[in-house]
Copies of this chain bind each other. A is one copy, B any other.
Amino acid sequence: MRVGDLQTPSLVVDRAAFEHNIEEMSAALPGPRLRPHVKAHKCTELARRQYEAGHHGFTCATIRECEGMAAAGLGADLLLANEVLDCRRIGSLVDEGHRVIVAVDSDETVHAAARGGVHEVLVDVDVGLPRCGCDPDDAARLADSARRLGLSVEGVMGYEGHVVGLTVAEERAAGCRRSMELLMRAAELVGGPIISGGGTGTYAFNTWATEIQAGSYALMDTAYAKLGLPFHQAVHVLATVISSHGRHAVADCGLKSLGMDHGNPSITGADVWFCSDEHLTFAPAMSVGSRVLVQPAHVDPTLAYHDRLHIVDRLLDAAAGQAVGDAEVLDTWLIDLRGW
């Protein structure tokens, strides 16, 4: 099968770029130093490549992601890095022999974990991003409360999400340090072997966390590309030019195939004007029937719109030569962790 045979819009992954990203990260953060976040790709086949690269623990954002990873045989060491008030489905996974550690940041979530049959928790600590996470000074009290309910407190987590996207490396590093100082204070009070944090933007600076929760590095997006990281854009939305005019052309991908919270996607050598539900208008004009590669601004909500990833050999070489349709489709992976 060739790229030209794919219907559009489709998600396509350049094999070489993807493999480079996996190797680059596993060299920087070998084995358990990385706990890949599956929310970025929602694909157990992709997670399997991360497992084969030496990372046997995974981070999940939803119950469904935990269930899907367990069903795929990748449930030996999962962290649900999110608060949950109905933990019964997680309790069932634990009963079946999978390991799922759950984040807690309040009395309510501690009680929900115990009530739902969860055995292990991390105390989620606010390290500066106004989202989940308890006050660092409240972490010890929550840990005690969890232990009194019979839960094993495995440590702490804290996500410096407010700094992972800063484009100046020194500012990211400084912000990461400030956040991790808060997390280390909580870690000392809480105890336990795990200090979990970090992301693709701070993986190289975050030497405090025992494990880094990066996910976007595997496929990348144009927001992370601005940071000058050693990862390559691996995923693209393949689209067909369906209309062309004097000054602009229209491709058949739009708001339902692209996460838009970080703004418009990009096309190399073109100027993206705007997206509609099933259209992307860009300049200059291009002949009808041409195939274009569109780079998403934010990988996570883009992947969540699609049900499969096509792995393509020499996709970018072909694109550079304007013959993207000739590149070979090597494999197709289901994006099987969608939903909740």
Which residues of chain A have a CB within 8 Å of any CB of chain B?
A: 7-9, 39, 61-62, 82-86, 105-106, 108-109, 126, 130-133, 135, 161, 240, 242-245, 247-248, 250, 252, 255-256, 259-261, 273, 275-279, 281, 288-289, 298, 300-301, 304-305, 307, 339-340
Contacts of A298 in B (CB 8 A): 255
Contacts of A261 in B (CB 8 A): 255, 260, 275
A301 adjacent to B260 (CB under 8 Å): yes
Contacts of A86 in B (CB 8 A): 7
Contact of A9 among B82, B132, B277, B340 (CB under 8 A): B340
A6 nearest CB across to chain B (Å): 11
B132 adjacent to A300 (CB under 8 Å): no
A108 adjacent to B278 (CB under 8 Å): no
Contact of A255 among B131, B242, B300 (CB under 8 A): B300
Q: How many copies of the shown chain assemble into the complex?
A: 2
Given contact pairs A242-B83, A289-B108, A256 touches B132 in the complex (Cβ within 8 A): no
Given contact pairs A131-B276, A300-B255, A307-B339, A85 touches B240 in the complex (Cβ within 8 A): yes
Given contact pairs A85-B242, A243-B83, A256 touches B301 in the complex (Cβ within 8 A): yes
B278 adjacent to A82 (CB under 8 Å): yes
Contact of A61 among B8, B62, B273, B278 (CB under 8 A): B278
A106 adjacent to B244 (CB under 8 Å): yes
Contact of A109 among B109, B273, B288 (CB under 8 A): B288
Contact of A277 among B85, B244, B248, B300 (CB under 8 A): B300
Instruction: State the 10 A-B residue pairs at the shortest beta-carbon distance, nearest first.
Output: A260-B261, A83-B242, A132-B243, A108-B288, A255-B301, A256-B304, A61-B278, A277-B300, A260-B260, A255-B261
Given contact pairs A106-B243, A304-B305, A305-B305, A273 touches B85 in the complex (Cβ within 8 A): no
Given contact pairs A301-B256, A305-B305, A307-B339, A281 touches B130 in the complex (Cβ within 8 A): yes
Give A259 to B275 CA distance when docked, in angstroms: 12
Give A189 to B135 CA distance when docked, in angstroms: 70
Besides A106-B288, A130-B247, A255-B301, 6 more A-B contacts (Cβ < 8 Å) are A82-B279, A130-B281, A132-B242, A132-B243, A256-B304, A260-B260
Contacts of A61 in B (CB 8 A): 277-278
A277 nearest CB across to chain B (Å): 5
